[in-house]
Structure 1
């Protein structure tokens, strides 16, 4: 709703509530207690009065508007001239007015002046209590009102409100004030009313308590209202001294609850359904007759059980070991005499104070947090009277992180060393909070190590037998007092120098191409050694390895060769001062050739005739069992002709001259390769091939001679035309139309062919005779 709209609504409400009705009786509206501002959970009564008396009047109540009357709902009751709100909520605040009506043709009174009621979140800071804790007493009895406030407050004043006006409080002859309490020694009817206390400045006030002083012979006593949900409600039916009741009946909303000889009724763990009007009826005998009387009705209202609120100082959830943290439990219920109980989810019961923590009032303080303080916390308030306890608070999780980790002590180069070796004690701790400074201390067999500083390392330059023992380191965070100790670590110092043991794998016969590993192990198994390998009495080591695992180091020959055969031994050293061990006993490593020989053979032989078959076989004599896989390569004049792991045979079905050459075969396995000696293969020409070749050459020569003679003859005879060995001449009288010459063509087959040979002779016009030119067109 816009601000202007809200202002207009309030203005209309004010106008409606203040509207005057001429000639009608006036109406007044008062608040009990007379607080324009109350707190949530408190009880307030609006009382409506009509000028001239209240006989026969019924009352209508309005809130913020006279258009719709306020109806009786849960927690809001209308009784006679009063409208009571128990356990007020923020929604109850507003502007109230009332008026009366009576008669069959209703006569209305004027609307009352408006009364503004404000309901604020929270609770009054001071608490007013009664002693004895009953809101109803007989005339002549004594009652004490006490005002309490957390932290204390000076100059409290006690106020009384009765019949729409404020009374003198604690100032008549029957009332005496001492400190924060007011005692009424002989209560009168005039002492009935609503009481509260407030500071001189008026800024702090307590809750309101209604006190009823009765001169009847019987009253129903209840605790001050409202009663807290979950508490025990005790009703007490009292009769004045001198009267005796034979039986007492208790009623709620005019229905019998219980009839008994006793005078008290307890209702455990009250809830909203227990709200209502209560009274008691007492029976007595007088002169042989049985009489009964009813007490005045007392309305019992309930208020929700107060909630405990748990907070933390500092507010953040992440804290570190040794830091201070305070948990505070508060109950917003207007009482100050709470006792608090703290709970931790991981425990089967309340948390108690110990060396690291303390409990003071509403505070649980952990002065030096540890990991054990991590967890989910709750709290609850308790009182001796009502409410006897609060609701359990919200859960608050506290996480205590390590300021630094538990230190770990490491002995380098190992837990077992030899005399004269350098030893380093390394104390390691991880810092989780920046800026934390750590200090280190070292102990041996529970005694302080001499010469050890406050750093994370302590060195023993040359260990002696006296340095054998169990060591620990302790780490402290500067300025916190937080200390942590490492687990103990043993250090053994051996006398003399170690002698390594040398072995190799595999332990059987070693062939070319095998992998063999020599292992050098120092007695005791400590790590950090550097291993030196020697062969055949050479002065310098042939190999050097490191080992940090403590199980020794290996010298591996991945592809053994015959040159690796020989005598081996090892030595070891470690530390900054390079303390060396003794030499190991030597061992002999023998590498056997994988192939004894590789041969290449030819079948039927190294000399073959063209057209014959030829088989070349590659053979290798392998000593290793089981026989490894072999790879064969056959080479002719430096070029591979076959490459296979399947077969050692190279076959040529029909040889040619081109197969002549020098052949070798190579065999490879396990990275070892060996070749055979060269084998020369000769492919010879056969007799029928030579005869065929000779015939072809002779025929070609004869044909060439004949052709040459023909050319000479043609030149001499004037180009005659020869066919079938006879000359043929032809005269043509129409040669004038000839083109002047005919081109003759021929085709010649290769010398080896027996086909017809064609020759071509080109003629041109040489005669100028008119007729009778002889022209040879074609020679066949």
Structure 2
């Protein structure tokens, strides 16, 4: 659906919308949409009913020109106006009802106020209004990264200057410059990278980059990055140390496995020894001095055998508790 929206509600189908005799109830967030696009970012409308209103833009970014308007209620005559910043006068009494501040920066974020002489009922009265202005960063503080991370003599070294532009000002043109030990090595241009085709030991220096807008209003400098170019052959040492560090976890696993296996073997041997001792005590060997009831002679005495064979057969009497039929 195309048209104008107020607080997410569709209110008008044309591309232009006018409010006659605005009321405080008309305050809110407004958006527009065409048949071939998504809804726009919202803009805030504030309708005041006081005698004086200080108007300020909703979104203010570094490098913008800030215009503040001290408006009075329609139908009344106004005279001189005075402007304040954090309660300090920045534009004394004058006939201008606008305050222009060029090329604002983050320090411009503060509270502004205006006082105007308004004539009503044949008398002049002073009325005031104030508002807070927040200046947003146009782009972030730049940083430098290098590729590759480990640089050896003869490598191609690439430095990249990174920054993040506000999505609300994505069409702003930025320029980049590079410095080595504070000396410029690449002038401002649209290129955000700097290349050294064949790195040398003497390229081991401190590097910074600057980012600025095409109108030169905003410029920011990155933190210092130190580049180390190594001699040929040091890469092998570097790779070897990495390999050793990587192999340490595997080595520890092998050591742990060996220790566990050894422990199991020792426990197994202890169990075998205990079983051997148990059975050795349970079945005594010939010749041990054991009680007669538990020791059997392998060759019984001949006389004992004769007596056993000559003994009369044993009578087995019936149990006392047998019931006769």
2:83 paired residue number:
342
2:109 paired residue number:
374
1:474 paired residue number:
210
Of the three residues 509, 520, 532, the one matched with 2:240 is: 532
The structure that has the greater radius of gyration is 1
1:128 paired residue number:
none
Q: Report the Cα offset of residue 640 of structure 1.
A: 7.0
1:543 paired residue number:
243
On the 8 A contact 2:211/2:220 being kept in 1, the answer is: yes
On the 8 A contact 1:320/1:401 being kept in 2, the answer is: yes
Instruction: Name the SS for the 2:107 alignment partner.
Output: helix
Q: Distance in 1 between matches of 2:67 and 2:80?
A: 17
* 1:150-198, Cα deviation, whole Å (9 max, x unpaired): xxxxxxxxxxxxxxxxxxxxxxxxxxxxxxxxxxxxxxxxxxxxxxxxx
On the 8 A contact 1:411/1:491 being kept in 2, the answer is: no
Of the three residues 464, 467, 485, the one matched with 2:220 is: 485
Q: What TM-score results when the alignment is normalised by the length of structure 2?
A: 0.54
Q: Distance in 1 between matches of 2:143 and 2:306?
A: 112
1:505 paired residue number:
none
On the 8 A contact 2:80/2:95 being kept in 1, the answer is: no
In structure 2, the CA distance between the partners of 1:561 and 1:545, relative to structure 1 (3 Å rule), is closer
Match status 1:463 vs 2:238: no
1:573 paired residue number:
none
* 1:286-324, Cα deviation, whole Å (9 max, x unpaired): xxxxxxxxxxxxxxxxxxxx9432123x4xx34333345
Higher strand fraction (1 or 2)? 1
2:165 paired residue number:
431
Q: Report the Cα offset of residue 657 of structure 1.
A: 4.0
Q: Distance in 2 between matches of 1:409 and 1:687?
A: 91
* 1:215-272, Cα deviation, whole Å (9 max, x unpaired): xxxxxxxxxxxxxxxxxxxxxxxxxxxxxxxxxxxxxxxxxxxxxxxxxxxxxxxxxx
Aligned length: 255
Q: Distance in 1 between matches of 2:196 and 2:169?
A: 30
Q: Report the Cα offset of residue 378 of structure 1.
A: 1.0
2:14 paired residue number:
none
Instruction: Name the SS for the 2:290 alignment partner.
Output: helix
On the 8 A contact 1:409/1:486 being kept in 2, the answer is: no
Q: Distance in 2 between matches of 1:634 and 1:349?
A: 87
Of the three residues 142, 149, 174, the one matched with 1:407 is: 142
Q: Report the Cα offset of residue 328 of structure 1.
A: 1.3
Q: Report the Cα offset of residue 334 of structure 1.
A: 6.3
2:27 paired residue number:
none
Q: Distance in 1 between matches of 2:103 and 2:135?
A: 10
Instruction: Name the SS for the 2:138 alignment partner.
Output: coil
Q: Distance in 1 between matches of 2:278 and 2:245?
A: 60
In structure 2, the CA distance between the partners of 1:706 and 1:376, relative to structure 1 (3 Å rule), is farther
Q: Distance in 2 between matches of 1:703 and 1:360?
A: 153
Match status 1:693 vs 2:311: no
In structure 2, the CA distance between the partners of 1:380 and 1:531, relative to structure 1 (3 Å rule), is same
Q: Distance in 1 between matches of 2:304 and 2:83?
A: 131
1:320 paired residue number:
61
* 1:727-774, Cα deviation, whole Å (9 max, x unpaired): xxxxxxxxxxxxxxxxx7469xxxxxxxxxxxx9xxxxxxxxxxxxxx
Instruction: Name the SS for the 1:390 alignment partner.
Output: strand
Q: Report the Cα offset of residue 638 of structure 1.
A: 5.9
Q: Distance in 2 between matches of 1:634 and 1:433?
A: 69
Q: Distance in 1 between matches of 2:249 and 2:88?
A: 67
Q: Distance in 1 between matches of 2:51 and 2:163?
A: 44
1:331 paired residue number:
72
Return 5+ residue gaps in structure 1 as ranges: 1-305, 354-358, 501-521, 523-528, 534-541, 547-553, 563-629, 643-651, 661-681, 712-721, 724-743, 748-759, 761-776
1:311 paired residue number:
55
Q: Distance in 2 between matches of 1:368 and 1:703?
A: 135
On the 8 A contact 1:470/1:488 being kept in 2, the answer is: no
Match status 1:447 vs 2:184: yes
On the 8 A contact 2:83/2:115 being kept in 1, the answer is: yes
Q: Report the Cα offset of residue 532 of structure 1.
A: 0.8
Q: Report the Cα offset of residue 659 of structure 1.
A: 5.2
Q: Report the Cα offset of residue 407 of structure 1.
A: 1.2
Correspondences of 1:191-590 after superposition (within 5 Å): 307-312=51-56, 314=57, 317-332=58-73, 336=77, 338-345=79-86, 349-352=88-91, 361-382=96-117, 390-393=126-129, 395-412=130-147, 419-434=153-168, 436-437=170-171, 439-444=174-179, 445-449=182-186, 454-464=190-200, 467=203, 471-476=207-212, 482-487=217-222, 489=224, 497=231, 530-532=238-240, 543-545=243-245
Q: Distance in 1 between matches of 2:116 and 2:167?
A: 36
Correspondences of 1:725-740 after superposition (within 5 Å): none
How much is the aligned-residue C-alpha RMSD, in angstroms? 5.4
* 1:542-582, Cα deviation, whole Å (9 max, x unpaired): 93558xxxxxxx968966999xxxxxxxxxxxxxxxxxxxx
Q: Report the Cα offset of residue 380 of structure 1.
A: 0.7
Instruction: Name the SS for the 1:327 alignment partner.
Output: strand
Match status 1:684 vs 2:285: yes
1:247 paired residue number:
none
Q: Distance in 2 between matches of 1:441 and 1:404?
A: 13
* 1:671-693, Cα deviation, whole Å (9 max, x unpaired): xxxxxxxxxxx963445538542
* 1:509-566, Cα deviation, whole Å (9 max, x unpaired): xxxxxxxxxxxxx9xxxxxx84315xxxxxxxx93558xxxxxxx968966999xxxx
In structure 2, the CA distance between the partners of 1:421 and 1:392, relative to structure 1 (3 Å rule), is same
Q: Distance in 2 between matches of 1:700 and 1:337?
A: 149
Q: What TM-score results when the alignment is normalised by the length of structure 1?
A: 0.26
Q: Report the Cα offset of residue 329 of structure 1.
A: 0.8
On the 8 A contact 1:440/1:476 being kept in 2, the answer is: yes
Q: Report the Cα offset of residue 413 of structure 1.
A: 5.5
* 1:114-138, Cα deviation, whole Å (9 max, x unpaired): xxxxxxxxxxxxxxxxxxxxxxxxx
On the 8 A contact 1:474/1:483 being kept in 2, the answer is: no
2:35 paired residue number:
none
